[in-house]
Amino acid sequence: MSSANEDPDTTPSRSDSAEGADPARVLRAGVVGLGFAGTTHLDAYTALPGVEVVALAGQESERLAMLGETRGVPDLYADWEDLVARDDLDIVSIGTPNFLHHPIALAALESGKHVFCEKPLAPTGALAAEMVDAARAANRVLEIAYNHRRRADVQYLARYLESGPLGSVYHARASWTRRRGIPGLGSWFTSKALAGGGPLVDLGSHVLDIALYLLGEPRVTSVSAVAYSELGKHGRGGREGTKTTGTGHLFEVEDFASALLRLDSGGSLQLEASWAGYTKDDDDIAIELLGSTGGARLFVENYATDDTLRLYADLEGEPVTITPTVHVPAGHHQTVIEEFLATIRSGEWSTSFGDYALHRSRVLDAVYESAREGREVSVA
């Protein structure tokens, strides 16, 4: 589906808006992807001032037409290449299956557009590095949808850590585990080529991001990991409402992974991700920090919004538990996109080329290599 013809006398050109640092100018965005991620991006931009979604691309023609009509997007495309080729866009937002992140981002960055991309940055660290290099060469912002670090409870914990009550944090645990939650058995999610991996990529990348963010961005130096595919390959563990096809469907990824990460700070991090397992888990996120003078635990059961934090300390020689009152509103994607837009408008882009996300992609590469080869692996 192609766009409506544009009047060259009224449509701003890319060269007119290349720097994007004028806070009064409305930024023009195009969104690629019609699933959960793409729709979430679209709705976040629509809810924010100073940005207008003028183009939308995706292969599902009926959904494309519906989203265009209900969200007021004027120009609709079947092919992402046609959207990216426009010279009047400031932003391309990528909410597609993982294997498309790299080609779309490279095309957008090389044509002078800022890019907001779903996590992970790419299926491999090598492809992620090409995206970061392209952002730096083009001097354009590359931001990644690590939205869970923007949760109010994570932000509360980050502020608490700044005051130093935990002392030296020597070990952390980060997990996202499900009892039954393989998304789309037989879909792109369970294809190694299309997704890059299973729950480690889908869920583990989020809690890895939260943990490294809270710990002050230490570098992971080495990884020792295991990964298993025990349920999905037999057609078990599918998310309720998704198709389970038995043993004949495509399942090329893990359904459980666990890794010990060594940090350049001298500390360590235990990372775990699971789409399915015979446990009490529902759909649970857990971050635990062990410090020399205190501890903290964030536990989010099935996307809970209240009563998720516990802080541990000593008071007059006795152990105490502190329960902060923190409510977590919805809208984490909106928050990260709002920050992305503010960065563009600031004109200060030299630290916004996606390097932190590249490190996360290289950590995931090392986890898979370690699990595959049965040995500890250094992180590139």
| Mean model confidence pLDDT for the chain | 91
Q: Letter for the amino acid at 355?
A: D
pLDDT, tens only, 199-222: 999 999 999 999 999 999 999 999
pTM comes to 0.91
Instruction: State yes or no: pLDDT of 352 exceeds 80.
Output: yes
SS3 270: strand
Mutual angle of helices 205-214 and 355-373, in 10-degree steps: 120
355-380 burial, b if ≥16 CB within 10 A, otherwise e? ebbbbbbbbbbbbbbbbeeeeebebe
Give the model's pLDDT for residue 4. Answer: 40
Lowest mean pLDDT among 136-145, 238-247, 306-315, 338-347: 238-247
Distance between terminal CA atoms of the chain?
Answer: 42
Q: Which two tokens stand for residue 140?
A: 């354009």
**How many of the other CB atoms lie within 10 Å of CB of 48?**
14
Give the model's pLDDT for residue 245. Answer: 44
SS3 216: coil
Residue 239: pLDDT band by 50, 70, 90 thresholds? confident
Q: If you average pLDDT over residues 162-186, what whole number do you get?
A: 93
88-126 burial, b if ≥16 CB within 10 A, otherwise e? bbbbbbbbbbbbbbbbbbbbbbebbbbbbbbbbbbbbbe
Q: If you average pLDDT over residues 265-275, what whole number do you get?
A: 97
Give the chain's domains with CATH numbers. Answer: 15-148 (3.40.50.720), 149-335+361-378 (3.30.360.10)
Give the model's pLDDT for residue 243. Answer: 56
Interatomic CA distance for residues 131 and 121, integer angstroms: 8
Check residues 154 and 10 and name the one with the higher pLDDT: 154
Order of strands, sheet of 295-301, starting from the edge strand that comes earlier in the sequence: 318-322, 309-315, 295-301, 283-291, 169-178, 268-274, 256-263, 220-228, 377-378
Check residues 23 and 75 and name the one with the higher pLDDT: 75
The percent helix, strand, coil of the chain (3-state, each to 5) is: 35, 25, 40
Instruction: State yes or no: pLDDT of 117 exceeds 90.
Output: yes
Give the model's pLDDT for residue 24. Answer: 74
Interatomic CA distance for residues 139 and 112, integer angstroms: 8
